[in-house]
Amino acid sequence: MAIRFASIKAGESDELLNSEWVVLENNGKTPFHTRGCGMTVGKRGSNKKSMLGVIDPGFVLQPGEKMRMCTGNPATAAHGAAPPEDDVKNYFLFLPKTYVHPGAVLTLVLRGLPVAKAEYDAAAANGIKADAPKADAAKAS
């Protein structure tokens, strides 16, 4: 699978749920349907993960396409304004609270198997912690 997290953005406050989102991108050559996928959140180094929910009805990511998954509900004024849909469309998760916090590890799963995984890093330009290069990781062993 060539599905990946392109960016992660933490919410501006615990009330403004639509200011928190993740962007998924399909870098593959075939469409990917998210129906039945779930999203988990945990901490690095911990096996304990919380299932945020199942994406239903879901959406289809065509090759090269991105989708912004906002935490809140677009019809709830207290969740704040939805981000503008420029080249990236919005999909709303209707979650009751924020889930992106420092050190959060997000995993997109399908039938219990990981499809994409990323760790939130507030200091990174796209909000995703960079992995160590493979060659450097091999040298460190």
- Domains by residue range for the chain, with CATH: 3-140 (2.60.40.1260)
Residue 1: the pLDDT is: 59
Beta bridge mates, 134:
none
Query: Is the distance from CB of 116 to CB of 6 less than 8 angstroms?
Result: no
Residue 42: the pLDDT is: 95
Would you state the structure tokens that stand for residue 39, as one six-digit string?
A: 């999203």
The Cα 80–Cα 102 span in angstroms is: 22
pLDDT bucket at 140, cuts 50 / 70 / 90: very low
Would you state the structure tokens that stand for residue 78, as one six-digit string?
A: 């207290």
The Cα 30–Cα 60 span in angstroms is: 10
Q: What is the mean pLDDT of residues 88-116?
A: 94
Which residue would you say has higher pLDDT here, 1 or 46?
A: 46
Residue 45: the pLDDT is: 81
The Cα 43–Cα 22 span in angstroms is: 17
- Total-model pTM: 0.87
Beta bridge mates, 92:
70
The yes-or-no verdict on residue 39 having pLDDT over 60 is yes
